[in-house]
Amino acid sequence: MAILTQEEVEHIAELVRLKLTPEEKQRFAEQLSSILEYVAKLQDVDTSAVAAAAYILDTRTVSRQDEISGCSDASRAIILQDMPDREGDLLKVPAVFGEAPKDF
Amino acid sequence: MTPNQLTIAEARKGLLNKQFSSRELVLACLDRIKKFNSRLNVFLEIWEQDALSLADQIDQALSKHEDPGPLAGIPLALKDVLLVQGKEITAASRLLKGHRAAYTATAVARLEKAGAVFLGRTNMDEFAMGSSTENSAFGPTKNPWDTERVPGGSSGGSAAAVAADLCLGALGSDTGGSIRQPAALSGVVGLKPTYGRVSRYGLMAMASSLDQIGPLAKTVKDASLLLSVIEGDDPLDSTSLALTETTVPELIPEDIKGMRIGIPKEYFIPGMDSEVETMVRQAIQKLEELGAEIREVSLPRTEYALATYYVIMPSEVSANLARYDGVRFGCRATSASSLPELYTQSRGAGFGNEARRRIMLGAYALSSGYYDAYYKKAQQVRTLIADDFRQAFRQVECLVTPTSPIPAFKLGERFADPLTMYLADIFTVSVNLAGLPAISVPGGFAEREGKKLPIGLQFIGKQWGESTILRAAHVYEQATEWKKARPILL
């Protein structure tokens, strides 16, 4: 497997919304590359006859009634108080359609 | 002996016989916490007032001969990853400093209903990522056996709390060994249940197909009692399953005559720590003396387990940690002038190095062009690993292995290179990948620089096989003297 370049790290950082310093980009490129080199050993395993299993144990589809159960007053009060910035009951964030920064 | 040094079983007797009150028991723990917490950094927050007022309520109920539950008045600690409504919860991350839980985890609610008293929340590796508790944003926890060494991780705080008699039991979480490995390094009992046995509702998710909540305790019977209270399916967690069997401490058999125990040959690797190997070999001999039938078995894909885990786990982590963005809760970057900047700065500054590494690793493994080679491949190998265990359990009832390849290492020793740290998990990750139950019990001591360091012995069971591993672990524990040793804190 190819070693990760800094550009690839930048791309991943953008996907996962992480702001990294130039030093961090270099350090993570090295560290992630060494981990990827290690996990490359999975390629040695013959899995041609194997189905991928996300859940190993009993799986069944669980459903519930499509009813609004609401939220307790206590929970609601905590959630509102926990908001980093708000106006009344409304959460405040920077404009969604504002100008994007040039340097990610 | 002060009440905080007792086991849960002993403390229950003491409370019922009125040798001491719950208030006295809680005060004994709080006293010890006040003495040692700043040195050990075990508790991130101590809930003194709540604990004492609940203890008083329990004492009142006991005096009226009411039955407030099987854990009435027993002081426990909770890993800082389990939601308790109204309490601050941070998963030891800067990103969540000041964040309050809006609801209570089912496992915690069940303990509450049983009368337990919570002393506070314990330190951990940030977002449960690590094997040493050095990845906490609030400083590492020190191992009570040698404060220059790590207690293990990620449930290092919970393990150290029990080891140092700061509480009588604790809850932790285990995704790749995070209950068992710190239990081994800190000399206590730690159990990871079968996947689906304990509800994950209210556990801050790390890797949803691997996570389980479990107990850390001073004895196997104590761990069994805690498990019996928290286990059982929950409509709030659709991956929790109805129990097919259960057990309570009183029903654990006192012998293992004829029990078929397997030794997976792949768990004895060249270059493994000689004291760890000696410990396991002596334990195997002891189990044979106790009447068990020992057989060598093979788990052929063991060598691929760590790689499998370090693809699947980060992939699920990258999805589960996407919610931490500084928007609705947690620390929001104040310098952000646009929404994209809000995300990247809050997350970039709030997450520590290990969290950021794993989020990026996971996103890469799931990304277009790499998904088949990494994530899909790992899921296929996972199926094979689970098959290996199925095959082995056709011949034996449980497996015995070392829990950790090494005893507690020094702070900073494995911190520089992530991969070196990951290797601490080699004996524990397969269990999570296969969804099986496993328990670590004290198995002996290594000696390093004149200090005794605990070594853990791991029993692995088949799906729902908790009663088998509890039985083997309990009988082994009773036949050995390891649990009598306690760390000396000065």
Q: Mutation target for B interface from A16, A34, A61, A72: give the one with most B CBs within 10 A.
A: A16
Give the residue from chain B lying closest to A99, CA to CA: B338
Q: What percent of chain B has pLDDT over 90?
A: 90
DSSP B16-56: HTTSS-HHHHHHHHHHHHHHHHHHH--EEEE-HHHHHHHHH
The larger pLDDT score, comparing residue A100 to residue B450, is at B450
The answer, yes or no, to whether residue B400 has pLDDT greater than 50, is: yes
B406-430 average pLDDT score: 91
Backbone angles phi, psi at B186, to 5 degrees: -105, 0
Give residue limits of the domains in chain B: 3-260
Output the average pLDDT for chain B.
96
CATH of domain B3-260: 3.90.1300.10
Q: Is B113 a catalytic residue?
A: no
Res A102: pLDDT: 59
Cα B164 from Cα B29, distance rounded (Å) = 10
Q: What is the pLDDT confidence band of residue B418, given thresholds at 50, 70 and 90?
A: confident
Mean pLDDT, range A73-101, rounded to an integer: 89
**pLDDT of amino acid B199:** 98
B154 is catalytic: yes
- The tokens for B81 are 């990853």
Residues A20 and B161: their CA atoms lie apart, in Å, by 35
pLDDT in tens, B377-388: 999 999 999 999
pLDDT at B465: 95
Q: Is residue B178 annotated as a catalytic residue, yes or no?
A: yes
Q: CB-based contact (8 Å) between B374 and chain A?
A: yes
- pLDDT of B160-181, one tens digit each? 999 999 999 999 999 999 999 9
Q: Which residues are CB-neighbours of B156 under 8 A, at least 6 positions away? A: B123, B124, B125, B132, B133, B140, B141, B150, B182, B186
Q: Which residues contact B64 (CB under 8 A, 6 or more apart)?
A: none
pLDDT band for position A98 (50/70/90)?
Answer: low
Q: ipTM value, please give it.
A: 0.91
Residue A1 has pLDDT above 50, yes or no: no
CB contact, 8 Å: A49 with chain B? no
Per residue in B5-44, pLDDT tens?
A: 999 999 999 999 999 999 999 999 999 999 999 999 999 9
Tens-digit pLDDT profile for residues A11-38: 999 999 999 999 999 999 999 999 999 9
pLDDT, one tens digit per residue, over B232-276 is 999 999 999 888 777 888 889 999 999 999 999 999 887 789 999
Report CA Rg, chain A.
23
Query: What is the secondary structure of chain A as a DSSP string?
Result: -PPPPHHHHHHHHHHTT----HHHHHHHHHHHHHHHHHHGGGGGS--TT----S--S---------------HHHHHHHHHH-SSEETTEE--S-TTSPPPS--
Q: What's the pLDDT tens digit per position in B192-222?
A: 999 999 999 999 999 999 999 999 999 999 9
Chain CA centroid to CA B64, Å: 36
Contact criterion met (CB < 8 Å) for B238 and A35: no
DSSP track, B449-483:
TTEEEEEEEEEEE-TTTHHHHHHHHHHHHHHSSGG
Active-site entry in B155, B178, B346, B430: B178
* pLDDT one-digit tens code per residue, B78-107: 999 999 999 999 999 999 999 999 999 999
Percent of chain B with pLDDT over 70: 100
Q: What is the pTM assigned to this prediction?
A: 0.96
How many CA atoms are closer than 13 Å to the CA of A26, on its beta-carbon side? 2
Contacts of A93 in chain B (CB under 8 A): 327, 339, 342
pLDDT of residue A103: 56
